[in-house]
Amino acid sequence: MIAIPDCSFNTTENRDPAAELLELSLGPQHPSTHGVFRMNAVLDGETVVRLQPVFGYLHRNHEKIAENVSYLASIPYTDRLDYLCSLTNNWAYALSVEKLTGLDVPERAEYIRIILAELTRLQNHTAFLGFLLGDMGAWGTALMYGFRQREKVLDLFESLTGSRMMSNYMRFGGCRCDFPEGWLEQARTVIDEYPEFLDEMEQLLVSNEILISRTQGVGAISPERAINAGLSGPILRATGVDYDIRKVDRYGIYDRFSFRIPIGDQGDTYDRMMMRLLEMRESLKILKAAIDEIPDGPIVNPKAKLRNLRPPEGEAYGRIESPKGELGFYLISDKQPQPYRFRVRPPSLINLTLLEEMSIGHKIADVMVILGSIDIVLGEVDR
């Protein structure tokens, strides 16, 4: 057995009172290219005693833009929120508008949405593993392996939606176009090859002693704090809270698939990482079943309007389980072609609420790892 260093907290009690605190501004570029994120950290030696995230470097007021354009024209803008998962963003927005207008979605379109959302989850978590290792200093290897695999999913996206990342694919009441020829077969090959990649990734990562000592016990949070702070997605479940919107809300047709929800027990960085690895295996199960069962039929509700959509007066909040957490859209319509209020509930921003609590008492180098394990995308944090 190797000794795992005890990450005991360094508090004011055992702090040398004569020692000076150092204020350090990290970013807005550095934190390992997660984007233009900045943190103001106060350090005692190498230990973090205070940490304040600073936002807004990528702010473009997406909500204001969306309140000035038609409902359709907002879809390409939602691609740019969390630019790794544009398809789930599309879905969350389409779902909210469908709630607002009371539109149904044909069965085949629901299947297509689930296939694409789970593929998005796969490629997001794959990229996440690479980025997390990059934050730990293993710069390159894991990221390149992850990207090599992710590229196969992106090829699928490109041949269907036309773009690797900015898909602009879901429409109110369905999807934009059907699969091109041979797409499902190609997707099946990618999915069949995925477990091999996951095995390799696990062999590379999860038993590595350096990784274990850098992640286990780092940035742990309790389930009560996590709930109170509104965390969602894998990092909420890593604390042991069983809450997955796919199971709770059963939006789309998720209730037809049998899959399990991974749950952590310590809420530390290691759990957060494992959560993603396990979730990918569950996504593969859903994908296999969905590709086998997908029925023929129309892909868009004939009642749906593409242009000049004027939903009836009212409001709706729709949310889905995006790879990052709970992604919600809150819309108020006043019967105009533009929404009166358009609000994005960004999981990346709210998941950062506890960043300070997670980081305090740890070394500054661990802050990068903790930040990486939250898995943020700045396009969504700043909007």
Partner 1 sequence: MTQLYQQPRINGSIQPNQEPVTDTDMSLNGTTKYHHETEVSGIADPAPANRLSSGVPDAVPETRLSARPTAGEYGNTPERRPFRLPGSGIVQGMMVTARNWFGSYFDRKRLVTVQYPEQQIRPPENSRSIPFLVYDGDDPDAGLRCVACHTCEKECPPQAISIVGERDENGKPARRPKVFDIDISVCMGCQICAEVCPFDAIKMDHYLDHSSLENFQSLILGKTRLSKSNAYFHTINSTDATAVDARLEADRKKKEAARQKRAAAK
Partner 2 sequence: MLTLETIRDRILEAVPDAGVEIISNPGPSGQDSLLVSSGHGLAIALFLRDDPELRFDYCSNVTGVDWLDKTVKEKVIVREDDEDVETQVERVVPGYLEVVYHLYSISKKHGPVVLRLRTADRNEGVELPSLTPVWKSAEFQEREVLDLYGIRFTGHPDPTRLLMWENFEGHPMRKDYCAPDDDEPGDPITARERKEEAS
Is the CB of residue 122 less than 8 Å from the CB of residue 197? no
Give me the least distance between CB of 289 and partner 1, in Å please.
Answer: 12
* Residues numbered 28-57 forming contacts with partner 1, rule: CB under 8 A: 49-50
322 vs 139: CA distance, rounded Å: 27
Give me the least distance between CB of 244 and partner 1, in Å please.
Answer: 10
327 vs 204: CA distance, rounded Å: 31
Considering only the stretches 127-135, 179-187, 207-215, 348-356, report the one whose residues sit in contact with partner 2 under the rule CB under 8 A. Answer: 348-356
* Residues numbered 283-342 forming contacts with partner 1, rule: CB under 8 A: 306-307
* Residues numbered 306-335 forming contacts with partner 2, rule: CB under 8 A: 311-317, 319, 326, 328, 330, 332-333
- Give bridge partners of residue 105 from the DSSP assignment: none
Looking only at the bridges linking them, the beta strands covering 314-322 and 325-333 are antiparallel
Q: Which of 71, 93, 179, 243 binds partner 2 (CB under 8 A)?
A: 243
* Residues numbered 191-230 forming contacts with partner 2, rule: CB under 8 A: 225, 227-230
Instruction: Pick between residue 29 and residue 203 the one whose CB is nearest to partner 1.
Output: 203
> How many residues bind to partner 2 according to rule CB under 8 A?
44
Instruction: Pick between residue 290 and residue 352 the one whose CB is nearest to partner 2.
Output: 352
Give me the least distance between CB of 207 and partner 1, in Å please.
Answer: 4
| Run of H or E residues at 154 | helix 141-161
Is 360 a residue that touches partner 1 (CB under 8 A)?
yes
4 vs 2: CA distance, rounded Å: 6
CA-based radius of gyration for the chain = 21
Q: Which of 147, 288, 353, 361 binds partner 2 (CB under 8 A)?
A: 353
41 vs 24: CA distance, rounded Å: 5
Instruction: Return the one option of partner 2, partner 1, none that residue 163 interacts with (CB less than 5 to 8 A, by type).
Output: partner 1
Is the CB of residue 92 less than 8 Å from the CB of residue 328? yes
How far, CA to CA in Å, does 114 sit from each of 104, 152, 188? 15, 18, 14
Q: What distance lies between CA 192 and its chain's CA centroid?
A: 23
User: Which residue, among 119, 71, 139, 86, has the nearest Cα to 332 in the 3D structure?
Assistant: 71
* Residues numbered 171-210 forming contacts with partner 1, rule: CB under 8 A: 176-177, 180-181, 195, 198-200, 202-210
Provide φ and ψ at 149, rounded to 5°: -75, -40
Is the CB of residue 53 less than 8 Å from the CB of residue 362? no
Considering only the stretches 115-123, 144-152, 281-289, 343-351, report the one whose residues sit in contact with partner 2 under the rule CB under 8 A. Answer: 343-351
Is 303 a residue that touches partner 2 (CB under 8 A)?
no
Interacting residues toward partner 2 by CB under 8 A: 55-56, 59, 61, 63-64, 99-102, 225, 227-232, 241, 243, 248, 311-317, 319, 326, 328, 330, 332-333, 340-341, 343, 345, 349-350, 352-354, 382-383
